[in-house]
Structure 1
Amino acid sequence: MKHIAIIMGGYSSEYEISLKSGNVVYNNLDQSKYKGYRVHIFTEKWVYVDDNDNEFPIDKNDFSVTVNGSKITFDAVFNAIHGTPGEDGLMQAYFELLNLPQTSCNYYQAALTFNKRDLLSVLKPYGIKSATSYYLNQGDEINEEEILEKVGLPCFVKPNKSGSSFGISKVKTKDELAIAIVNAYKEDNEIIIESFLDGTEVSVGVINYKGKVTVLPITEIVSENDFFDYEAKYLGKSQEITPARISEEIANKVRVVAKKSYEILKMTGFSRSEFILVNGEPFMLEMNTIPGLTTESLIPQQAREAGISLEELFTNAIELALKK
């Protein structure tokens, strides 16, 4: 019986969603193979939480926990932290130093994909298309004329490193730009301002399944709101249609680009990439390496459509980590 620590929580606005994802993993582990431990990672404490909500501190020297006098060490870590420190490379680097297998990609891939600006810059020479963008670091002079001349209206203002659509605004008039920038700076000290891509939004998971890079069925996202924001993602203000209502020809283009991106970056574990289809061509918005695993999240929906149960999905992730 392997002991698996499921890390959840984190230091960002996404911690509540991460706790949900982590609990879904915990409740769907194959109990004939694994004993799961819920480990909450917060700035103020790292603790193992048992089924009665008792908390036991994690020893950061070796990521072990002592329960009623006996020390427990883990065979592998299932990473379910969205945002920092689980999705940006910090936990990955820590576990690599401890030589402890974990289910997500390596620290370099995590740091790179978490930074939208750097991710899109690395993929661009390989022909992966993205929106026209303008970058700001906190403290930079804000030249509204220059920004709008480059990206046009409407445009999107996003924190460069955050998830779950926190801090994102769709800007329709010049007057809204300054407010949107302030809003984005609340989440991050770097901002990406992108031209509006008018087209169908799709999301696609790519995983290594049983040793083979596998593209999951594509989901089409139809948001009731102006874009796929927090409400649309988590509060039911969107329709997510899997498989997407797109032609086989366009679907194939998306699959090729999603798989190519995964392989160029030497990804392992889960990834979920978002694209806007403009005149049949996929433009990448971002790639998530710790995608939501709640029952309403996209990867579980796509896996279901592919005939993969949550238990199989999680077993596969753990087994691949153990083989690493």
Structure 2
Amino acid sequence: MNKKTVALIFGGKSAEHEVSLRSARNIADALDKDKFTPMLVGISKEGSWYRFPDTKIFTENTKIVDSELPANAEPVALVSLKGKPVLYSLKSHSETNIDIAFPIMHGTMGEDGTIQGLFKMVQVPFVGCGVWGSAAGMDKEVMKRLLQEAQIPNAKYLLLTPFKNITYDEVASKLGSPFFIKPANAGSSVGVHKIKSEADFAVKLKDAFQFDTKVLAEEFIQGREVEISVMGHNHSPEASLPGEIIPQHEFYSYEAKYLDDNGALLKIPAEITGESLQKMQSLAKKTYQVMGCDGLTRVDFFLRPNGEFYINEINTIPGFTKISMYPKMWEATGLSYKDLITRLIILGFEKYEAEQKLKTSYLD
């Protein structure tokens, strides 16, 4: 394979903007420079696109905002010229060819199918799930509908909206107490709260609605929090060894994940073996296929004391920070961080090549 230019795209208009930069730094460091040339493309919190010449953007900045840009930030646009994807400089008017895009944008405007739609419009291969799989995976209500249709066990829930009043007692009577509330379209536990009382419910629901117009109230499942990394094409996924999260906070909140170095203990691989391991890996792969995933996804479980597995959620652009579970679980399975990144890029090329064989014109 000739050396390919990989556009690492990070940042964006998301509550997980800062986490995205940390993930992108690790991927840039791990990228096999003998096979790939990295191109660093950051999207500001306002939605502007910039190209950066080196990794100082990660060491000298924790976020990208239009009013505090480094002097070497070059405004750019991703466009299609003569059927080829290029990064067009709005400053020098130069064009740079892109071979593949690697989106590292956690949460809204990156993980929800929006940027994947842009990639398809400009005809650039990309790493990870497509438009539909990304959108369905991001929306927890849609995810639950699909899981229920496929008879994949998951927690009971109610849909809450700003347009329909529902009381704490109504929710508690159907789901029990305590229960969780979470924005339908947000990641990394942003806006997620454990509700124990009516006073909690009123305050925390208001916070959750800051991040989405749909909020789920979800049954609290007492059990171990276990995750599995899945990779591959939808028809032939592979599952890693599992990892277990042991929160040191009340639950695995945003603070426990990213702000508190001691917020959680990670046990990789988790102490799950034999038939239970096979069942979990099989369920992870089934979930991946049902959700239309392709490339990569992390599947999160609850494991009850009686041995029953429940799907909590999926994450189609999981974290790639130094403490992130997705790469660590593959490392425990025998795949190094560097080889993992190479494999994901190759999968992106393979998916694009398969899609290019499909007809787009009835008359031709």
Shared fold per TM-score greater than 0.5? yes
State how far apart, in whole Å, the 2-side matches of 1:140 and 1:6 are.
41
Q: 1:150 is matched with which residue?
A: 174
Q: 1:306 is matched with which residue?
A: 333
Q: CA deviation at 1:308?
A: 1.0
State how far apart, in whole Å, the 1-side matches of 2:298 and 2:79 are.
32
Q: CA deviation at 1:144?
A: 2.4
1:92 maps to amino acid = Q
- Give SS of 2:340's match: helix
Query: 49, 55, 61: which is aligned to 2:73?
Result: 55
State how far apart, in whole Å, the 1-side matches of 2:168 and 2:248 are.
29
Q: 1:240 is matched with which residue?
A: 266
Q: 1:127 is matched with which residue?
A: 151
- Give SS of 1:294's match: coil
1:234-259 alpha-carbon deviations (Å, 9 max, x no partner): 22311110111234222222111101
Q: 1:251 is matched with which residue?
A: 277
- Give SS of 2:22's match: helix
Q: 1:98 is matched with which residue?
A: 122
State how far apart, in whole Å, the 1-side matches of 2:292 and 2:133 are.
8
1:227 maps to amino acid = F
The 5 Å alignment of 1:215-230 reads: 215-230=239-254
- Give SS of 1:270's match: strand
Q: CA deviation at 1:194?
A: 0.7
State how far apart, in whole Å, the 1-side matches of 2:132 and 2:277 are.
29
1:33-92 alpha-carbon deviations (Å, 9 max, x no partner): 111011112334101111265111222433513386642120000111101211000000
Q: CA deviation at 1:216?
A: 0.8
Task: Could you tell me which runs of 5 or more consecutive residues in structure 1 were left unpaired when the two chains were aligned.
Answer: none
Comparing 179-188 with 110-119, greater Cα deviation is found at 179-188
Q: 2:134 is matched with which residue?
A: 110
- Give SS of 1:102's match: coil
Contact 2:182/2:208 (<8 A) preserved: yes
Query: 82, 88, 95: which is aligned to 1:65?
Result: 88
Query: 275, 280, 284: which is aligned to 2:301?
Result: 275
Q: 1:266 is matched with which residue?
A: 292
State how far apart, in whole Å, the 1-side matches of 2:120 and 2:257 are.
32
State how far apart, in whole Å, the 2-side matches of 1:212 and 1:189 are.
35
State how far apart, in whole Å, the 1-side matches of 2:164 and 2:292 are.
34
**Percent identity between the aligned chains?**
32
Query: 108, 119, 123: which is aligned to 1:84?
Result: 108
State how far apart, in whole Å, the 2-side matches of 1:31 and 1:150 are.
54
Comparing 32-41 with 262-271, greater Cα deviation is found at 262-271
Q: 1:41 is matched with which residue?
A: 43
State how far apart, in whole Å, the 2-side matches of 1:238 and 1:246 are.
19
2:31 maps to amino acid = L
1:80-114 alpha-carbon deviations (Å, 9 max, x no partner): 11012110000001111111100011101100010
State how far apart, in whole Å, the 2-side matches of 1:199 and 1:249 are.
18
What is the count of residue pairs matched by the alignment?
323
State how far apart, in whole Å, the 2-side matches of 1:61 and 1:221 are.
41
Comparing 63-72 with 88-97, greater Cα deviation is found at 63-72
TM-score for both structures, normalised by structure 1: 0.95
Q: 2:317 is matched with which residue?
A: 290
2:52 maps to amino acid = V
Contact 2:147/2:154 (<8 A) preserved: no
Contact 1:80/1:290 (<8 A) preserved: yes
Query: 346, 354, 360: which is aligned to 1:319?
Result: 346
State how far apart, in whole Å, the 1-side matches of 2:245 and 2:182 are.
19
State how far apart, in whole Å, the 2-side matches of 1:86 and 1:269 are.
15
Q: 1:159 is matched with which residue?
A: 183
2:281 maps to amino acid = R
Task: Could you tell me which runs of 5 or more consecutive residues in structure 2 were left unpaired when the two chains were aligned.
Answer: 58-71, 81-85, 352-364
2:222 maps to amino acid = D
